[in-house]
């Protein structure tokens, strides 16, 4: 990240990319009570998390809507895993604000659904997109008309919230979406998750692969369980995710590991990264991609206090390095990219950048199979 004293690491050949990190200490819960909302509640956890019905008219977001180079689909908004670094908190805020502007939330309820510090409700008020198939069918008709003219036809599930968070065991929205997409052909489909529940749908992934390109990305940033518990409040432990990945690859599903975000000075050293590459190889991963932390304004309030508590020697450096920017400093990102490329070559994985994900290999969408 440049050569100044404010940098997190040097911009040389990557050998000085990381800094020593302190051993993480247990996190205390920062969440206070959140009062009851008037919106329909579908389910409720003992710790206060509630699942609220949302009936959207559309669930498939175009690249123009999101600024990404693919279409996105999220069956849920908000995520029970509560990862401190998650960039998707902005999506929850957006949905809450729209509900307030539409008169569905009062001013008091707006405060409840945002949380005292503007981020807690992301992991305590989960929107469940009921009637998702009706909205998806309408969107797919629009999608197929569009992609016949423009080749940006990748659909990625789980870009703003985990599609296999614990609520999926009950609501099964992700499985319903996959079953619908299995009736299409010629698509490029991606899915991102931290959850071992993904292995439940191995049968549908196999069906999808018969007619479409498919990439299932199991997300894991480190093998260190203590570190996972410090940074990801309620996500599955690494061994459980790796077993799910192996179940997928043993069944022939095109699945791999996504290491995102890589945290400067915490998870970016060669031994930690090499351990992930080795674990991915043992699990039969077809690919491994990685990218550095994005620290957008809406995420700083959640993530920086975690650094203060567990990595105080790095907290001020992060503040300086990410001042006025959401993406990692360019020199750091380049050095990390070189390191990842060397490890991809060493461990026999395709040399992919994050932008190479979901690369189209089949001809464009030919037809939508009948329901």
Give tens-digit pLDDT for 177-205: 999 999 998 889 999 999 999 999 999 99
Q: Is cis: bond before 110, omega within 30 of 0?
A: no
Give percent of the chain with pLDDT exceeding 90.
57
Provide DSSP, 200-249.
GGHHHHHHHHHHSEEEEEEE-S-S-HHHHHHHBTTPPPHHHHHHHHHHHH
pLDDT of residue 321: 94
CA proximity to 231, closest of 111, 83, 341: 83
Contacts of 278 (CB under 8 A, 6+ apart): 347
Chain segment 21-31, per-residue pLDDT in tens: 333 333 333 33
The predicted model gives 76-84 an average pLDDT of 92
| The pLDDT of residue 296 | 86
State yes or no: pLDDT of 4 exceeds 50. Answer: no
Give residue 24's pLDDT: 36
Between CA 21 and CA 268 the distance in angstroms is 10
Hey, where are the domains in the chain?
Answer: 39-153, 182-293+328-364
Find the mean pLDDT for residues 67-75. 87
Q: Model-level pTM?
A: 0.83
May I ask the CATH class of domain 182-293+328-364?
alpha beta
Least confident of 121-135, 237-251, 348-362: 348-362
């Amino acid at each position: 990240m440049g050569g100044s004293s404010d940098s997190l690491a040097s911009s040389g050949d990557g050998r000085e990319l990381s800094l020593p990190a302190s051993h993480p200490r247990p996190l205390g819960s920062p969440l206070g009570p959140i009062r009851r909302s008037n919106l329909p509640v579908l389910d409720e956890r003992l710790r206060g998390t509630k699942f609220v019905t949302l009936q959207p008219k559309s669930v498939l977001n175009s690249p123009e809507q999101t600024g990404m180079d693919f279409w996105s689909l999220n069956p849920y908004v908000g995520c029970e895993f509560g990862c401190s670094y998650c960039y998707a908190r902005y999506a929850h805020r957006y949905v809450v604000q729209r509900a307030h502007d539409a008169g569905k939330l009062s001013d008091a309820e707006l405060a409840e659904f945002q949380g005292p510090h503007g981020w807690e409700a992301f992991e305590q008020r989960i929107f469940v997109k009921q009637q998702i198939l009706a909205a998806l069918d309408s969107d797919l008709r629009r999608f197929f008309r569009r992609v016949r003219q423009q080749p940006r036809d990748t659909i990625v599930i789980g870009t703003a919230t985990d599609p296999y968070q614990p609520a999926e065991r009950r609501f099964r929205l992700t499985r319903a979406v996959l079953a619908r997409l299995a009736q299409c052909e010629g698509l490029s489909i991606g899915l991102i998750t931290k959850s071992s529940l993904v292995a439940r749908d191995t049968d549908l992934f196999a069906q999808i692969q018969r007619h479409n390109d498919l990439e299932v990305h199991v997300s894991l940033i480190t093998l260190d369980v203590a570190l996972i518990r410090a940074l990801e409040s309620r996500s599955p432990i690494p061994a459980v995710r790796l077993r799910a990945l192996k179940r997928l690859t043993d069944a022939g599903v095109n699945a791999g590991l996504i290491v995102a975000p890589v945290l400067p000075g915490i998870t970016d050293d060669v031994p930690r990264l090499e351990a992930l590459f080795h674990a991915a190889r043992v699990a039969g991963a077809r690919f491994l991609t990685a990218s550095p932390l994005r620290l957008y304004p809406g995420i700083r309030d959640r993530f920086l206090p975690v650094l203060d508590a567990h990595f105080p020697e790095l907290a001020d450096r992060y503040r300086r390095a990410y001042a006025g920017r959401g993406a990692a400093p360019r020199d750091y990102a380049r050095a990390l990219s070189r390191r990842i490329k060397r490890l991809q070559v060493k461990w026999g994985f395709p040399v992919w950048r994050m932008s190479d994900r979901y690369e189209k290999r089949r001809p464009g969408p030919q037809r939508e199979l009948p329901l």
